[in-house]
Every structure is written in structure tokens, then in C-alpha cells.
Structure 1
Amino acid sequence: MLLKIVKNDFIRNKIVTTAVFVFITMAVILAASAINNIANLIQSMSELQERAVPADITQMHAGEYDQTEIDQFTEEQRENIAMQETMEHLTLDGNNIHFGENQTMAGTVQDISFVVQNDKFDFILDLDNEKLDVREGLVAVPIFFMEQHDLEIGDSIRVISGEYEKLFVISDYARDYEMNSSLTSSKRFVINQNDYEEMLEIEGMELEYLIEFKLNENGDSSAVQTAYIESGLPANGPTVGGNIFLIFNAMSDSAVAMVIILISILLIIIASLCIRLTFLATIDEDIREIGVMKAIGISKKDIKKIYLNKYRVMSIAAGIIGYLLSFAVVNLFNGNMRLYLSSDLSGDLKYILSLIAPLFVYFMIVVYCKKVLKRIDKISAVEALRKDALESGKNKKYSFSLLKNDFFSTNIFMGLRDVWKRFKLYRLLLVIFIVCTFIVILPLNIYNTMNSPEFSTYMGIAKSDMRMDLRKTDTITEEFEKLQDELKNDSDIEKHAAYITSSYQVKNVEGSWGYMNIEIGDFSVFPLTYLEGRAPDGEGEISLSYANTGNDGLNKKVGDEVVVKAGESEQTLKVTGIYQDITNGGKTAKAHTSHGVNEEAVLWYIVSLDLVPGVDKVEKMNYYKNAYSSAQVNDLSEYTRQTLGNIIEQMSTIVIGGIAIAIIIAVLITALFLRMLLSKDMSQNAIMRSVGLTSKQISHQYMAGTLMVLVVGIILGVVISNLLGEFLVSMAMSSMGAAKIEFVHIIWQTWLLCPLALILFVGLTIYMSCKVAVKDDISVALRS
């Protein structure tokens, strides 16, 4: 009998049932896709790490070194170190790499190195995660450049430097665990040993080294780094722990997963509201039937089971369909993962973990349905048969009198008055419009912020028109000084500032020495925004990045002292400010020019500049690119775009998906809400029509009220997404070194384009729903 009742209910409410079913399925699809994405990330990261065997400690070094001393140190640290290997990098400028029709890789913010495959660990892999074995005349090109320049296997690249010219054919994509991410500043091209030895003859070529250590299972990384420093071994460059590479590899996909999870949570919240809305409509329609069932002795438990069984069946069916469809939908989000981490995402983990989504949604719906169905307990048979059980507030008096209306037409005023009188009913729709707007605006704000030049401030870089990075060569000092002299005499340059980053030893909280990159310069020319304090503007002052102030950093705050050492010279500096920086693991520092440069450990030179208004930026960039072949010249937006390329690209997909999901949700729930409301008001509308009001006039009342709720919901949604969104993103980014994100708002998108899209689709739904519903036969409505 119960099954027959459930079946008849499905047949009777086809539209509502189908809409709710689709909505529950969407909730399961999105939630399962997010979990699927996380499972794929865990699986692919694990596989890549297992195949690549990355270093646990990497010491970057430029200059002479003695491998015998490193071997001796390795033997002394055998209790911690399992293997040691030194990889030689032949570093070239992007101008030296030619492809296509007279195209080069000039302008890249990445350092380009040619290397030979390692023997012991830190292997560079192909797209099948197999160790690359490159034959003579061939080259494996990093995925970053294959994507950026639309290169394909079989294409050619030429290395041209002075009189030297060498043609290579691209044989593979190079998947590089340590340097995959655009956030790492270097990329490795893999070639054959014979080709590499030939390239060593290039005049003026520069060699850099990665001195890498693979630790035993219980090896102490901190002890090895401390011992390495105390031994005075080569360290002209930053030291990077294996965890940094793990974070960089997972960052873009984990950021996308976090946004999807947030949308999934919002979607599940809306699902519960949608179920409540549908229940209220169904119970309101069936209230006399409920009264009859109670009158003939059917228990409350059995009555509830009639309604609950329908949603149990629906949740199971939607869960199965959503679960299966999620494996197709997730492909929209894991393209980056397939390319950079693992081409094969066929592991079993995702099938198991993704079951959490349909099970959770089913559990949530059943529990929520039981809660809503408690309303039936309060309905007596007599009240139900009189159909006044769910009516509340009828005797309340409201101040909105039609006689006092001087501003709106009668129909619009009556619609707005209805919202005020029954706000408890309309607030459900208001919340859903707020959430839908949030789903649209939050990803859009994140995308616009990351794609903006202002995002450079979260990378420890002050905003400027142009940025010039000088590669470290034998003539770098002379070129750096020449460049500054030319900038001083260039009338097109409004202002400029030079910054030199060196590696220093710094005393940590345990009292031992570690390494830290300190940027030296005048930070008053292009000021950063500081979380606390100010920039260093005198001798003996230093500012620290946010990540450096935590317990896993130097654990310092404004006013504390930091001890740094260059060679044998120690200096105590006072912390004057804390800024945000997500680069280099987030642990950097800035000191005034008076601090001096550690000439023995200079890492890079940077010049920031602003142009005089009206000067052609592209023309000026091209001039300095040609004048200084070792300089990377970029405008700041391009620098940010290249550094955050993967994340920005994936976030654009989330933006499009968020808009589509929000519109579908808003349209579905608006249609359900109006169906419930018009069903509830059937008798009232029939009476209004019997006294002379037309169907069009009644429709306008509902349209006015619902559109007002929509507009208010959109306004509140934009405001909340701006305020709460910044808090949520800042909380997520704090672990990466950015504790206070301020969104970049493109007003015409957040306040015009997106709201208009919602108003257009929802407005059309309101118009169609009201137009159809109020044209029912008056006699039928009055008899009901």
C-alpha cells in the first residue's frame, strides 16, 4: 500500500519531483566530484613521488665546489643520509631558445636549464611517469613551456648562443616533480649526455648546481641542514626542503578542490532548504488527506513514512546517478592534474572515497525530512479538515495600508506588502538567492584578484609598471650598474628602485643557524602593504614575511630582534614590519640598503620602475630587452600571470561552472517556491479574480514581490561574498604566507554583469511560473 501511495505521488507531482530529483543529483555530482578530485590528487601525488624519488634537501649553488668534501660530509651523516647526488645545470637565457617561425622564449620569468637525467634519485619523468631516457639530438621539454608555447612532440627547438647553434627535436614532455609548478622559478630541459658535453663549449655559458640529499626513512632533515651549514660547504643559493615541492605541486589542484568543496557545502545547504520547501508545498496540498488518514486511525509514524519513503527512493536513485556522473564531471577539473602529475587516474581510491558524497547527502536528506515531518504531529484531524493548521499570523495587524501607498502602483505595492507580511515564508527564497550569488561572485573575485597586478603584493613584490630580473652572469655587476645609470638618465622613467637578494645565515628559535633570503634596497620608492609595522628605512632594521613569523619560522613579531650572519660577520637587526609573501616557501625578509649585500651569496638582481604617463610600455620593454640580453623584462601583470598560470586557468573553469550551477539552482528553486506559494494561495487568488482582478494583475503582484526578494538577495550576496569570501580565502592562504587577502573587484562584473544574468534567468522563470499558475479555473479553486 505504501509503495502504491509513493508511486501515485510521483505521478501526481511530476514537475516538482523531477526538479527536486535533478537538484539532489547535482548536489551529489558536485560533492562526489570534489572528493574524487582530492582522491585523484592524493593518488597522483603519491605515484609521482614514488616514481620521481625527489630529494628531501636541495641546496642550490652557483660557483665553484668540491664534490670530495660533499662526499665526505655524506659519509659522516650516514645515519641520516641514504643517497647524495649533485646535478649540474647549464643555464641559458630565453633569448637563446628558438622555436617555430623566429619565436624565442624571451620574456619568460623562469630560469631555463639544460640537464642530464640523474642516476640515483630526483628523476625527471615522461607523461607515463617513466624515467626519461633521451637520445642524442632529442630533448624533453618541461610541461610548462610545452603548454605556454603550444609545442608538440616532433617540433624542433634551436639553441643559439653566439657562434653556437644546435637543433633539437622534442621527444617528450618533461614531468619534473621538483620544478613542475609555475611557482618554482626554474625549469629543466633534459638532453643526452653527449649533447650536454657539446653544449658546455658555449661561450659565456653559466653552470649552477643542485646539491641534493635523499634521507633515510627516519633521517633528521634539520640535523643535516645544520651540519651542512656548520661544515662550510657550498651554499651560494637557497636551501629547499622536499615539503616545499610537495606544496607547490599540489597547490593549484588543491586550491580548485577547496573552492569546489565550498560550493558543494553551499549546495548541500540549499538542498536541505529545497527539500523543506517541497515538503511544505506537498503537506499544504495534502493537508485534508492527512486529516482523513488521522481520522480513520492511521498512525503518525505511518503517515510520515508515506512522505519519507518518496525521498528515500529519490535520494538513493539521485545518489547512484550523481555518483556515476561525477566521474565524467570531474574531468573538467583534473586536466591540469593529468598533465602535471599523472596521466593515469584509474586508481581505486576515488571510487571508495566518492561514496561519501551520496551517503552523506542521503543521510542529510532523511534526517532533515524527519525534522520537517514533525509538523504533522501538530496537526489534528479536525484542524486539517478545516485546512487552517499551517496558517499562522492571520490575525496580526500590519501597518502597510493600501490607502497610504503614494509611491507604487497597486499591484507592485500588494506584492511588496505580501513579502513583508509573510517574510518568514519568503526568507527561505532570500537565503537561496544570497547563496547563489555567493557561488557566482566568490570564484569570480578569486580569479580577478589572482589575475590582477595587485596580486604581486602577496608575492612580496610592490606594485610597479615594469620589473626587470637580471640573470647572474660574470658581467652581472657591471650590467646592473650600467642599467641603473641609464634609468637615471631616461626621461621616460618616472621612478625606479634596485633590489639585490642574497642568502644569509639566520639564527632560528633553537639557536642553530639556517638560511634565509634577504632582499636589500630602498623600500620607500615602491612600498608594500604591511600586515603590521612598516618597511625597514634605516640601518639595523629588517621586515619579515608572514610565514617567517610563525612557529615553524623564526617565531618573531614586530619589535623583536633577528641575528643574521654573512661569512663570519654577525649582525642583530630589529623587526620593523611583517608583510605577505607566498614565494620561496613564504619565508623571506627585506632590509634597508645600509645593511649591505652578501657579495658571496648574491642570488638575483631586480629593478622595479614606473613610466611617465603616456609612455608606451611595450615599446619601452622591448628596448630594455634588446639592450640587456641577460635581463628578463616584464610588466607586473605578465609576471603574475606566468607565476600563477595554472591556478588562474583552473579558476576560470570554476567561475564558469559556478555561474551555471547558481543559475540552475536559482531557476529550479524559484519555480518550486512559486508553485508552493500559488498552490497555497489558490483560494485567495480565485476570490480576487471573482471580484474583478485580472490574471495579469495578480501575476504582477507575485512578480513584484519575488523580484524584490531576488534583488535584495543579490545585493546581500555580493556584499557577503566580498566580506566573508576574503576571510575564507585569507584563512586558506595563511598557511602559504598570505594572511590577509583583499579582493580586486571589477565593478561591472560583480555589480552589473553577474546580477543581470541572475535577474534575467530568474525573472523569466518568475514570469512563466506566475503566468501559467494564475490561469486555473476559478470554480475549481473556489471548490478547493
Structure 2
Amino acid sequence: MFWKIVINDFKRKKAITLTVFILLTMAVVLGGSATTIVANLMQSMADLKEQAVPADIAQMHAGAYSQADIDAFTARQQQHIAAQETMVLLPVEPANVGYGEGKTLAGTIQDIFFVVQNKKFDFLLDLSNEKLAVKQGEVAVPIHFMVEHDLHIGDTLTVTTEGYTKAFTISDYVRDYEMNAAIASSKRFVVNQADFDAMLEKQTGELEYIIEFRLTEGGSAQAVQTAYIESGLPSNGPTVTSMVFMLFNAMSDAAIAMVVVLIGALLIVIAALSIKLTFLATMDEDLREIGVMKAMGLSKKDIKNVYLTKYRVMSLAAGLLGYGLSFGAVQLFSGNMRLFLSSELNGSLKYLLSLIAPIFVYLMIILYCKKVLRSIDSISAVQALRLESVDAREGRRNRFPLMRNTYLNTKIYLALRDVALRFRLYRLLLVIFVVSTFIVILPLNVYNTMNSPDFSTYMGIGKSDMRIDLRKTSTIDYDFQRLQEKLSSDPDIARYAAYITCYYQIQNAEGSWDYVSLETGDFSAFPLHYLEGRAPVGSGEIALSYANAAADGLNKQIGDEVVVKVNGSDTTLKVSGIYQDITNGGKTAKADTSLGLNEDAILWYIVNIDVLPHINVSEKMEYYQRAFPTAQVNDIREYTRQTLGNLIDQMKVVVIGGGAVAILIVVLITALFLKMLLSKDMSQIAIMRSVGMNCRHIRDHYMTGTIAILILGIIAGVVASHYLGSMIVSMAMSSMGIARIELIEVAWQTWLICPLILMVVVGFTVSVSCNATIDDDISVVLRS
């Protein structure tokens, strides 16, 4: 009999049961997807690392070096160093790499290097994570350029420099553990040794090197770095550790996982609230049945088990279905992972971790059900047989009388009065509308922020209309001078500022020396947003990035002193400001031009430009690109897009997915709430119809109340996404060098389009839900 009651309850309440089941399944799908993404990310990175065998310490260097000195150093550090490898990087200007019909790689912000496969470690892999073996006349191109320029295997890639032209056939794609991510500013093209030697003979740019070390088990990276600097070995470039490589590889997928986890957690909250709505509706409908069961002598425990078993079965079924569907849903979010890390996301770990979501949802729902079911304890058999609803025991005070209404339409006033009198009931719907709005607005704001020109300020770059980068060529100094002369005489230019980035040695908290990319120029022309302090002005001041000033960096605050080597001399500077930057591992610095340059360590020249209001920026960019073909001319939005790679594209998928989930939630919960509310008000509705009110009047009554709650929910959800969302995103991105991020809201999206869509959806749902109940025969209700 017990199971027969449960089965009949399923059959009798198909709509409510299906609604709750869908919500529980969605919660498990999103929770399982997030844990699967994390498991896949861990497994894929571990597999890629195992096959690529990346360096534990990589010292970038430009200029002359002695391999014999490095070998001698390695021999002295055998306690810490297991293996050493030096990779030669042959730089090629993007404009000199052609493909298709007259196209080149000009415009990319990446440094392009041609290399050969390493012999000991730091292997460059194909899409099967096997070591690349490139034949003569072939080239393997980085995945980044395959995506950005739609390069296919079999296409021709032509390299043209002074006195050298070679057409290569694309034979494979490069999966590069150390330089995979778009935020890594360099990319490696792999060619055969014979082709590389031929290119070396005609080289025009200065060779660069990666001096790499693999540590022994238990070897100290800090000890090796300190000894390396003290030995005076080649170090004209940054030092990058394995932790930075791991962070770059995990960044985009980890960010997506965090957003999915957040949406999944909010969905579980909604599922719990929907169950409370379901119980309220179910108990109102079953109140007399509960009274009969109590009168027959059934214990409270037996009565609770009738309802509890239903949700146990439902949670178990939703958990199993959601667990299975989560592996399909994760495919929507793991395209980047499959491409850059592993084409096969295998491993038993993900199956085990994905069980966390269904188990957690099951336990949470059952505990919550037990808490809600306590309301049965206070209902006696006589009360259950006499009352028409659980809340009927509570007397209502005659608040907000109609006679005091002098401003609003009577129908609107009565609807709002009903909401105010029963706000404890409506607050469940309000919370769900707030959460649903949050799910829509937060990913949208994150996407708009990343896609905005203002995001450049989080990359250590002042906002401007366009940016021109000059990289290392034989004519770079001449081009830089000529560019400034051309800009100064161009009547369309409102203002411009030139910046030069060099590597400088800077003394760390332990007294040893680190390398940092330090930019000099006038930072008042295109100012940054500083977390603390201000831009460096004149000699004797320096601004540090947040990651550089942090405790695990230089450990400096505003007013502290920093010692920098400039052309071999120690210069003491005072910290004037701390800004945010996610480039170069987040560790950068800025100083006034008066600091002076390390002429042998110049990395690049940059010019930020603002044009006059009436000038077409795109046309002006094309003009300067033609005038300086070796330069990279971009607007700040394009520069941001290339730096963040396809993280922006993945966030767009999350925006669409989050919006679809939120709309589905709103439809299901609104329908469920109306089902419960109309069940409570059945007698009242019958009386209203009997005194002459038609169905449209009654439907408008509930429509007004629900829309009023929706408006409150939208306002609260938008405000929460602005303040709470900024805090959550800042916490997530702090490891990347962003301590505080202000999300950008597009007003017409946030306050017009999204609310309008939610209102249309809720209005349609209310209309359909009311029609199904209000049109019933009132005589049946009045007779009961």
C-alpha cells in the first residue's frame, strides 16, 4: 500500500513532479560538468606535462652566450639539476610569413620563432601528444595560429626574408606546453634541422635562446636561480618557472569551470526552493488526505515517508540521469581543452569526481525535505480535515485597506496588496528571480568586461584608440624615430605617447637579483587605474604591478624603495603606485623616461595613439600598417582579444548557456509557483468568478503580482551581480595579477533587453498557468 500511494502521487502530479525532476537533473548536470572539467583539466595537463617534459626553469636570453659556461654551471649544480637544454630561437617578422592568396601573419601580437625539436626535454608535440618529427620542406604550426588564421594541414606557408624565400607545407600542429596559451607572447614553429640551418645562414634578426633546466627530485629552483645570477650567466630576458607554464595552460578552462560551478551551486539553491514550493502545493492539495491518514492512526514518520520516498526516488533518478548527461554537456565547455591540451579526455578520475555532484544533490535535497516536512507535525487530524490550506491557521490582519488607496488602479492595488499580505509566500519566488537574474547578468558582464577596450587597463596598458608595436628588426630604431615624426606631423592625431620596454635587474626581498620587464615613458598621457598610489613622475619613481609588489614578489608597498640596475649602475627608486597586469606572468614595472635605457636589453617599442573624434580609426590603422609593414597595428579591443585568446569565445558560450538555463528555470518555477498559489486560492477564485469577475480580470490579478515580484528580483539580481559579482571575479583572477576588477555593464543589455525577455517569459507562463486553472468548473469548488 505504501508504494501504491507513492506511485499514485507521481501519476496525479505529473507536471509538478516533472518540473522538480528537471531542476534536479539540471543541477546535477552543471555540478557534474564542473567537476568533470576540473578532472579533465587535471588529467589533460598531467598527460601533456608527462609527454612534453617541460623545463622547471626557463631563462630567456637575447644576445651572445657561451654554452661551455652553461655546461660548467650545470656540472656544479648536479645536486639540483638533472638535465640542461638550450633551444635556439630564430625570430621572423609576422609580415614575412605568408599563406593563402597574399595573406600574411601581420597584425598578430605574438613573437614568431622558428625552431627545431629538442633532444632532451621540452618537447613540442602533435595533436596526439607525440613528439613532432618534421621532414624537410615541412613546418608544424602552433595551434594558436591554426585557430586565428584557419590554417590547414597541406596548406603552404611561405617565409620571405632578405635573401631567403622558402615555401613550407604545413604537416602538423604544435601543442606547446610552455607557449600554448595566447597570453604567452611567443609562439614556436617547428621545422627540420636542414631547413633551420638554411634559414640561419640568411637570418636578419638577432637570435634568441631559451636556456632550460630540469631539476632533480627534491632540487631547489630558488637555489638554481640564485646561483645562476651570481655566476653572471646569460640572463637578458625573464626567468619563467613551471608554475607559470601551468597557470597559463589552465587559465581559460579553470575560469570556465569556476563560472559553471557558480551557476550549478545557484541552481541547487533554486531546486531546494522549488521543492519547498512543491511541498506547499502538495500539502494544500493533500491536507484532507493527511487528516484521514492521521485519523486512521498512521504515525508521523509513516506519513512523512510517503512524501520523502517520492523525493528519494526522484533525486536518485535525477542524479543518475544528470550524471550521464554531464559528460555530454561538458563537451560544450571543453573544446579549448581538447584542442590545446589533449584530444582524448580519458582517465578514471573524472568519473569518480563527477559522482560528487549527484551524491551532494541527493543528500542536500533529502535533508531539506525532512526539514520542510516538520510542518506536518503541528497539524492535528481535526485541523487537517477542516482547513483548506496549511496557512489557513494563520489569521490575517486587515492591512492595506482598499479605502486608503488614492493613487493606483483598484485592480493593481489589490494585486500588490495580496503580494504584501502574503510576502512570506512570494519571497520564495523573489529569491528565485534574483538568482535567475544573477545567472544571466554575471556571465554577460564578465564577457562585456573582457571584450571592452577598458579591459586593457587590467593588462597594464592605458586605453587608447590604436596601438603600434615595433618588434626587433634591423631597422627598428630608425622605424621608431620615423614613426614619431610622422605622428607629430599628422593632423588627424589628437595625441600619442611612446613607450620602450627593456629587461632590468631588480633587487628582490632576499637581496638577490631578478629580471623584470620595465616600461619607460610618459604615463600621464594614457593613464592606468591604480590600485594604490599614482603613475611615476620624473626621476626617482617606479610603479609596480600587483603581482610584482605582492608578498611572493618584491614585497613592496607605496613609498618603499626598489633598487634597479641601469647600464650596470644601481639606481634607487621609490614606489609611487601599484597597478594591475596579467601580461608577462603579471610581474612588470613602469618608470619615467628619465630612468634611462638598457640599450642591450630592449624588447620592443610601443606607441599609443588617440585620433580626433571625426577620424575613422580603422582607416587610420590601415594607413600606418601600410607605412610600417613590419609593425603591428591594432586597436586595443583586438589586442585584448588576441591576448586572452579564445577565453572570450568560451565565455560567450557560457553567456548563452547561462541565459538558456535561467529562462528554463524561470518558466518551470513560475509555473510551479502558480500551481501552488492557485491551489491555495481555489475557493477565493471561485467566489470572485461567482460575483461576476471574468477570467481575464483574475488572470491580470496574478499577472500583476508576479510581475511586481519579478521587477524586484531583477533589480536585486542586477545589483548583486554588480557588487557581489565583481568580488567573486576578482577573487578568481587574483592569481593572474588582477586584485580588483570592476565589471562593465552595458545599460541597454542589463536594464532593457534582459528584463524585457524575462518579463515576456514570465508573463506568458503566468497566462498559460492561469488559463489551465481559472477556466475550471467553479461549481465543483463551491460544493466542496
Q: TM-score, normalised by structure 2?
A: 0.98
Residue number in structure 2 paired with 1:131: 131
C-alpha displacement at 1:609, in angstroms? 1.2
Q: Distance in 2 between matches of 1:752 and 1:549?
A: 41
Amino acid at match of 1:369: C
Select between 356-365 and 758-767 the one with higher mean Cα deviation: 758-767
Answering whether residue 763 of structure 2 is matched by residue 763 of structure 1, we say yes
Residue number in structure 2 paired with 1:602: 602
Q: Distance in 1 between matches of 2:279 and 2:578?
A: 53
Residue number in structure 1 paired with 2:367: 367
Select between 561-570 and 94-103 the one with higher mean Cα deviation: 561-570
Correspondences of 1:58-77 after superposition (within 5 Å): 58-77=58-77
Answering whether residue 554 of structure 2 is matched by residue 529 of structure 1, we say no
Q: Distance in 2 between matches of 1:430 and 1:514?
A: 54
C-alpha displacement at 1:711, in angstroms? 1.7
Answering whether residue 418 of structure 2 is matched by residue 418 of structure 1, we say yes
Amino acid at match of 1:174: V
Answering whether residue 251 of structure 2 is matched by residue 251 of structure 1, we say yes
Select between 311-320 and 601-610 the one with higher mean Cα deviation: 601-610
Secondary structure in 2 matching 1:206: coil
Q: Distance in 2 between matches of 1:493 and 1:74?
A: 53
Select between 687-696 and 764-773 the one with higher mean Cα deviation: 687-696
Secondary structure in 2 matching 1:157: strand
Residue number in structure 2 paired with 1:618: 618
C-alpha displacement at 1:412, in angstroms? 2.2
Correspondences of 1:120-269 after superposition (within 5 Å): 120-202=120-202, 204-269=204-269
What's the CA shift string for 1:338-368, capped at 9, x where partnerless?
0000001021111111011110000000000
CA contact (8 A) 1:53 1:123 kept: yes
C-alpha displacement at 1:66, in angstroms? 1.0
Secondary structure in 2 matching 1:68: helix
Residue number in structure 2 paired with 1:440: 440
Amino acid at match of 2:118: N
Select between 311-320 and 561-570 the one with higher mean Cα deviation: 561-570
Secondary structure in 1 matching 2:400: coil
What's the CA shift string for 1:116-135, capped at 9, x where partnerless?
00000111100000000000
CA contact (8 A) 1:138 1:192 kept: yes
Residue number in structure 2 paired with 1:408: 408
Residue number in structure 1 paired with 2:691: 691
CA contact (8 A) 1:689 1:695 kept: yes
Amino acid at match of 2:33: S
Q: Distance in 1 between matches of 2:26 and 2:496?
A: 53
Amino acid at match of 1:607: V
Residue number in structure 1 paired with 2:119: 119
Amino acid at match of 2:240: V
Residue number in structure 1 paired with 2:487: 487
What's the CA shift string for 1:490-545, capped at 9, x where partnerless?
22221111111111222212222222221111111111111111111021111111
CA contact (8 A) 2:137 2:167 kept: yes
C-alpha displacement at 1:777, in angstroms? 1.3
Correspondences of 1:634-783 after superposition (within 5 Å): 634-783=634-783
Q: Distance in 1 between matches of 2:337 and 2:361?
A: 27
CA RMSD in angstroms, aligned pairs only:
1.3
Amino acid at match of 1:575: V
Amino acid at match of 2:447: Y
Residue number in structure 2 paired with 1:40: 40
CA contact (8 A) 1:383 1:389 kept: no
Secondary structure in 1 matching 2:135: coil
Secondary structure in 1 matching 2:781: helix
Answering whether residue 575 of structure 2 is matched by residue 575 of structure 1, we say yes
Percent identity between the two aligned chains: 63
Amino acid at match of 2:428: L
C-alpha displacement at 1:551, in angstroms? 1.4
Amino acid at match of 1:39: A
Amino acid at match of 1:81: I
Secondary structure in 1 matching 2:565: strand
Answering whether residue 344 of structure 2 is matched by residue 352 of structure 1, we say no
Q: Distance in 1 between matches of 2:203 and 2:292?
A: 97
CA contact (8 A) 1:411 1:698 kept: no
Q: Distance in 2 between matches of 1:762 and 1:627?
A: 56
Residue number in structure 2 paired with 1:306: 306
Q: Distance in 2 between matches of 1:377 and 1:481?
A: 85
Q: Distance in 1 between matches of 2:776 and 2:623?
A: 75
Amino acid at match of 2:691: V
What's the CA shift string for 1:637-670, capped at 9, x where partnerless?
1100111121101000000000000000000000
Amino acid at match of 1:226: T
CA contact (8 A) 1:460 1:580 kept: yes
C-alpha displacement at 1:381, in angstroms? 1.2
Residue number in structure 1 paired with 2:18: 18
C-alpha displacement at 1:205, in angstroms? 3.6
Answering whether residue 352 of structure 2 is matched by residue 381 of structure 1, we say no
Q: Distance in 1 between matches of 2:298 and 2:203?
A: 95
CA contact (8 A) 2:506 2:515 kept: yes
Q: Distance in 2 between matches of 1:14 and 1:783?
A: 26
Correspondences of 1:537-552 after superposition (within 5 Å): 537-552=537-552
Q: Distance in 1 between matches of 2:129 and 2:142?
A: 13
Residue number in structure 2 paired with 1:285: 285
Secondary structure in 1 matching 2:64: coil
Amino acid at match of 1:219: G
C-alpha displacement at 1:177, in angstroms? 0.5
C-alpha displacement at 1:477, in angstroms? 2.2
Q: Distance in 2 between matches of 1:387 and 1:663?
A: 36
Secondary structure in 2 matching 1:391: helix
What's the CA shift string for 1:207-251, capped at 9, x where partnerless?
211111111121111111111111111111111111111100000
CA contact (8 A) 1:398 1:421 kept: no
Gap runs ≥5 in structure 1: none
Q: Distance in 2 between matches of 1:58 and 1:641?
A: 27
C-alpha displacement at 1:24, in angstroms? 0.7
Structure 1 runs, 4 residues or longer, greater than 6 Å off: none
What's the CA shift string for 1:438-464, capped at 9, x where partnerless?
000000000010011110000000001
Q: Distance in 2 between matches of 1:268 and 1:471?
A: 51
CA contact (8 A) 1:236 1:603 kept: no
Select between 496-505 and 51-60 the one with higher mean Cα deviation: 496-505
Select between 402-411 and 501-510 the one with higher mean Cα deviation: 402-411
Q: Distance in 2 between matches of 1:774 and 1:586?
A: 62
Select between 93-102 and 251-260 the one with higher mean Cα deviation: 93-102
Q: Distance in 1 between matches of 2:62 and 2:45?
A: 30
Q: Distance in 2 between matches of 1:9 and 1:389?
A: 18
C-alpha displacement at 1:387, in angstroms? 1.1
Q: Distance in 2 between matches of 1:630 and 1:103?
A: 14
Gap runs ≥5 in structure 2: none
Secondary structure in 2 matching 1:605: strand
CA contact (8 A) 2:237 2:515 kept: no
Q: Distance in 2 between matches of 1:482 and 1:74?
A: 45
Q: Distance in 2 between matches of 1:178 and 1:142?
A: 12
CA contact (8 A) 1:52 1:125 kept: yes
Q: Distance in 1 between matches of 2:7 and 2:145?
A: 58
CA contact (8 A) 1:89 1:208 kept: yes
Q: TM-score, normalised by structure 1?
A: 0.98
C-alpha displacement at 1:388, in angstroms? 5.8
Secondary structure in 1 matching 2:467: strand
C-alpha displacement at 1:624, in angstroms? 2.1
Secondary structure in 1 matching 2:646: helix
**1:40/1:672 CA distance change after superposition, 3 Å:** same
Secondary structure in 1 matching 2:207: strand
Amino acid at match of 1:397: R
CA contact (8 A) 1:236 1:602 kept: no
Aligned residue pairs: how many? 784
Amino acid at match of 1:159: V
